[in-house]
Amino acid sequence: MVAKINRGVSLYGAVAYNQQKVDDATARIIAGNRMITDLTGNPHNVMQQTLWAFDSYLAANRNTEKPVLHISLNPSVDDRLTDGQFAELAREYMRKMGYGDQPYIVYLHEDIGRRHVHIVSTCVKEDGGKISDAYEWNRSMKACRELESKFGLKPVADKRNELLEPYLKKADYRDGDVKRQIGNILKSVFSAYRFQTFGEYSALLSCFNIEAKPVRGEFEGMSYNGVVYTLTDDAGKPLCTPVKSSLIGKRFGYEGIEKRIAHNVRDFRNRKWQPKIRDDVTLAMHGCRGNREDFIRLLGEKGIDAVFRENEEGRIYGVTFIDHRNREVYNGSRLGKEFSANAFEQLFNRPQEFPGSEVHGQYAGERESLSDSMESAIEQAFGIFSPDINGPDPQEEALARRLQRKKKKRRRSRGIS
């Protein structure tokens, strides 16, 4: 079982999120502690009564920065628990974490394949004291292991992937509830994958049958930037009306994506993460012998997707690689010039122009085979390439300039020179 503890300032936001799931019939209230009334028997007043249950606690201490707890308990997808067992699991966890005497409400979520519970509570006691969160992560891990044993739950080996797995699958228009499907995938992608441009972000989402498009316009004299999302089929054909990012979450809009990209760019430049797939891509280029389907198949066996962008004439003008094992996304040129769009345009569509073919540039008399050329590329990929070899990425530089201008504007508005 995996437990996630989030702390916040908005009790209303945490309760409203769960109540909306209840209203949509994708969640149910299964337990509560120190609630004002039997919540399951008053559907029209649940929201207000839930908020009232916390009033005296939150009023007793207004100095705690983040007094609201929003906890999720996530058994494995293979675990089968009844509503009563889920309620008992939540009570035991709260007791072990020191929140057993606090007011809390337990929601059972059934909007994905893995049933799980959300608990809304507070870390502020009735007398105004704050419950300590010292060593909270260690205590939570210990509680999860003990509860796994008590309830016969499957131990989770890879906790990160266990949480993401139900979401990180292709969206299916036939399943309905387009907004929910898009929202679940976006939340997981944001927390799981690293991307450095909007193009990389868009290519990543296409692997899950979601199309992301930026939109720009003007309203009442003010310009705006936004993003819309659409479900597609496996060929990328849109299947529904676009959904505005504002209906899913602020962080999935233009500014939220820009902020996430900036964070990823900084980490990449500080070498906190670097490409690990050059060797696999090079070997696939060598092994496919110029056949695009074979190239995609060979990469797929390594957990890598290749997304090509083509114009109306079928010319490849962009390629992005999604490394699902390491949760990283790279435009081809970021790996090296041998992996740029032009290299694949030549490899797949104009083999006669590919380095080493019978006619190439000024060395028209060369007869070096495609295989020999790829052997040379392999040697380079296995040790010579450096992320800095290709110079700065234009989109990264444009982003950096935009952020710098925003920073200067904010400083001016505060009177800072």
398 or 192: whose pLDDT is higher? 192
What distance, in Å, lies between the first and last C-alpha atoms of the chain?
52
Identify whether 406 is part of a domain. Answer: no
386 pLDDT tier (thresholds 50, 70, 90): very low
Asked if residues 281 and 339 have their Cβ atoms less than 8 Å apart, the reply is yes
d(Cα 4, Cα 116) in Å, to the nearest integer?
11
Residue ending a domain, choose from 251, 269, 287 = 269
Q: Can you give the pLDDT at residue 134?
A: 87
**pLDDT more than 90, % of the chain:** 42
Task: Identify whether residues 305 and 344 lie together within a single domain.
Answer: yes
**Residue whose entry in the numeric block shows the structure tokens 């906890």:** 71
Does residue 122 have a pLDDT over 90?
Answer: yes
**Out of 94-98, 307-311, 357-361, least confident range:** 357-361
- Is the same domain home to 155 and 184? no
Residues 215 and 242 in one domain: yes
Q: DSSP letter at 210? A: E
Q: Which of 47-51, 129-133, 379-383 comes out lowest in average pLDDT? A: 379-383
Please state, as a whole number, how many other Cβ atoms lie within 10 Å of the Cβ of residue 93.
23
Domain holding 341, by residue range, is 278-381
Task: Specify if 409 maps to a domain.
Answer: no
What confidence category does residue 325 fall into, taking pLDDT thresholds of 50, 70 and 90? confident
Q: What is the mean pLDDT of the chain?
A: 81
Average pLDDT over residues 77-100: 93
Where is the domain boundary, 241, 269, 297?
269
How many residues are listed for the chain in this entry? 417
Domain-embedded: residue 388: no
- Structure confidence at residue 401 (pLDDT): 64
Going by pLDDT thresholds of 50, 70 and 90, the confidence category of residue 173 is confident
Are 262 and 362 in the same domain?
A: no
- Dihedrals phi, psi of 70, to nearest 5 degrees: -130, 100
Task: Give the lowest-confidence range in 5-19, 59-73, 217-231, 380-394.
Answer: 380-394
Lowest mean pLDDT among 214-228, 275-289, 363-377: 363-377
pTM reported for the whole predicted model: 0.55
Rg from Cα positions in the chain: 26
> Is the same domain home to 224 and 288?
no
Are the beta carbons of 313 and 323 closer than 8 angstroms?
no
Q: How many CB atoms lie within 10 A of CB 199?
A: 17
Q: Are residues 255 and 285 in the same domain?
A: no
239 and 230 Cβ atoms separated by less than 8 Å:
yes
Region of 415 (left: φ > 0; alpha: ψ -120 to 50; beta: rest) is left
The pLDDT of residue 369 is: 42
User: Could you tell me which residue, 4 or 359, shows the higher pLDDT?
Assistant: 4
What would the pLDDT profile of 186-199 be if each residue is shown by its tens digit? Answer: 988 887 899 999 99
Number of domains observed in the structure of the chain? 3
Domain for residue 186, yes or no? yes
Q: Are 103 and 179 in the same domain?
A: no
Does residue 86 or residue 115 have the better pLDDT?
A: 86
Does residue 403 lie in a domain region? Answer: no
Instruction: Count other Cβ atoms within 10 Å, centred on residue 6.
Output: 12
Flag whether 309 is in a domain: yes
User: Residue 134 maps to which CATH number?
Assistant: 3.30.930.30
Same domain, 81 and 195: no
Whether residue 177 sits in one domain with residue 155: no
Which residues are within 8 A (CB) of 35 and not within 5 positions of it... i.e. 6 or more apart? 49, 50, 53, 103, 105
C-alpha 396/C-alpha 400 separation (Å) is: 6
Q: So what's the pLDDT on residue 387? A: 34
Tell me which of 206-210, 305-309, 310-314, 386-390 is least confident. 386-390
Residue 131 and residue 11 in one domain: yes
Among 95, 126, 159, the domain boundary falls at 159
- Over 60: is that where the pLDDT of 58 sits? yes
**pLDDT, position 362:** 38
pLDDT tens digits along 60-76: 998 888 899 999 998 88
Please check whether residues 178 and 220 belong to one and the same domain: yes
Instruction: Report yes or no on 284 lying in a domain.
Output: yes
Q: Cα–Cα distance between 288 and 305 in angstroms, integer?
A: 15
Same domain, 186 and 55: no
Residue 325 lies in a domain: yes
The SS3 of residue 108 is strand
Exposed/middle/buried for residue 230 (C-beta within 10 Å: 0-12, 13-18, 19+) = buried
What pLDDT score was predicted for residue 329? Answer: 95
